[in-house]
Amino acid sequence: MRRALELAATPGVPLGPNPRVGCVLLAPDGSEIAEGFHRGAGTPHAEAAALAAAGESARGATAVVTLEPCNHTGRTGPCAQALIEAGVARVVFAQPDPNPVAAGGAETLRAAGVAVELGLLEREARRLNRAWTFALEHGRPFVTWKFATSLDGRSAAADGSSRWISNETARRDTHRLRAECDAILVGTGTVLRDDPELTVRDAVDAPLARELQPLRVVMGDRDIPADARVLNDLAETVQLRTREPKAVLAELHARGRQHLFLEGGPTVAAAFAAAGLVDEVVAYVAPKLLGAGTSAVADLGIGSISEALDLKVTDITVLDDNVRITATPRKKA
């Protein structure tokens, strides 16, 4: 299964809209027969790729797959049926398919006499496709809020200047994270003030970043200039004329977007956070003290320390002299 997870995570495989899946076929004696992985929408699924490589050797084999074999016909046929027709005797998969359209493969396999086991390294498999899984289970995109701040929590100085609070290494890391999402959002205020381009440019670890630019999303009802860089032809852009985070996420979900990278200013960030619609926080903290200026997040309506938005730190990484802190909101008891 670990090998199947490695295959699913092959560099260059798109992060969406389909899940990343790997498959390994084993002979009755445990030796490997063939392997395969899904290379993106419209290409053969992992099981089909492995079966094609195995040929007649697949009969009596065990298929080890990171995701429950699909049970529907889309641009490709159902993998559960392909495994049955190939004579596979046993299927072990990590994560049940949360997609109601494609689920049911395990039942189909069992009905055909195939032995089925599930749950092996499920946590690792869910992590591999966390945004895809989250979007299906919650009906909205996973939201990562990223911001850069001084040591005393300021995103800009008293005169409004903010370039650059974070260092170059942190900024390059931001582009890496942008490349892992399929939508980037800012408010109209950020567009009017900073004129950002909101594209993936410096992601050295994302070879397809230039070809697979995230959707640029501008939230707010103010008009933006026709020559704003966010409207150039380097990526698709949509302006959603609302201040309601739930409405934004509903529209992005309808567009098939699974992971939103929230880069808006303090007001937009506060709107999402106050609505309980931030699933991950990535803060780049620079060793600077400003003493005054714009706070990293606007008023959250919190009156006492007991009401604070409590976060669980999941990673701390030093990027030269900046610190990246990744955290997730703790669930209220």
Predicted local confidence at residue 202, as pLDDT:
67
Q: Are residues 60 and 192 in the same domain?
A: no
CA–CA separation, 144 and 178 (whole Å): 10
211 is in an annotated binding site: no
Q: List the structure tokens of 168.
A: 């170059």
217 is in an annotated binding site: no
Strand partners, 317: 324
Predicted local confidence at residue 14, as pLDDT:
80
Residue 134 located in a structural domain: no
**Residue 205 predicted with pLDDT over 50:** no
Residue 47 is a catalytic residue: yes
265 is in an annotated binding site: yes
Burial track 60-89 (b if 16+ CB lie within 10 A, e otherwise): ebbbbbbbbbbbbeeebebbbbbbbebebe
Q: Are residues 161 and 211 in the same domain?
A: yes
Strand partners, 283: 147, 325
Q: Are residues 148 and 280 in the same domain?
A: yes
Q: Are residues 151 and 107 in the same domain?
A: no
User: For 120-165, how does the pLDDT look when each residue is reduced to its tens digit (9 = 90+)?
Assistant: 999 999 999 999 999 999 999 999 999 999 999 999 899 888 888 9
263 is in an annotated binding site: yes
Q: Are residues 91 and 228 in the same domain?
A: no
User: For 91-119, how does the pLDDT look when each residue is reduced to its tens digit (9 = 90+)?
Assistant: 999 999 998 888 899 999 999 999 999 99
23 is in an annotated binding site: no
Residue 170 located in a structural domain: yes
Residue 54 located in a structural domain: yes
Phi and psi of 285, rounded to 5°? -105, 120
Predicted local confidence at residue 203, as pLDDT:
55
Q: Are residues 173 and 123 in the same domain?
A: no
Q: What's the CATH code of the domain at 218?
A: 3.40.430.10
Q: Are residues 197 and 315 in the same domain?
A: yes
Predicted local confidence at residue 210, as pLDDT:
46
Q: Are residues 125 and 146 in the same domain?
A: no
Q: Of 107, 129, 151, at which residue does a domain stop?
A: 129
Residue 310 located in a structural domain: yes
Predicted local confidence at residue 309, as pLDDT:
92
**Residue 208 predicted with pLDDT over 50:** no
Q: Bin 90: left if φ > 0, else alpha if -120 < ψ < 50, else beta.
A: beta
Q: Are residues 196 and 313 in the same domain?
A: yes
Residue 213 located in a structural domain: yes
Q: Are residues 70 and 145 in the same domain?
A: no
181 is in an annotated binding site: no
- Exactly one of 35, 47, 68, 180 is catalytic; name it: 47
138 is in an annotated binding site: no
Q: Which residue has the higher pLDDT, 307 or 65?
A: 65
178 is in an annotated binding site: yes
The residue segments making up the domain with residue 162 are 139-329
Q: Contact, 298 vs 267, CB < 8 A?
A: yes
Residue 258 located in a structural domain: yes
Q: Are residues 147 and 55 in the same domain?
A: no
191 pLDDT tier (thresholds 50, 70, 90): very high
Amino acid at site 298 = A
Peptide bond into 17 cis (omega under 30): yes
**Residue 318 predicted with pLDDT over 90:** yes
Q: Which residues lie closer than 8 Å to 209 by C-beta, 6 or more apart? A: 175, 178, 179, 200, 201, 203
Predicted local confidence at residue 333, as pLDDT:
62
Predicted local confidence at residue 287, as pLDDT:
95
CA–CA separation, 269 and 217 (whole Å): 14
Mean pLDDT (whole number) for 60-84: 92
Smallest CA-to-CA distance from 276 within 242, 310, 303 is with: 310
Q: Are residues 160 and 178 in the same domain?
A: yes
**Residue 75 predicted with pLDDT over 80:** no
Smallest CA-to-CA distance from 275 within 248, 256, 294 is with: 248
Number of domains, the chain: 2
45 is in an annotated binding site: yes
Q: What's the CATH code of the domain at 16?
A: 3.40.140.10
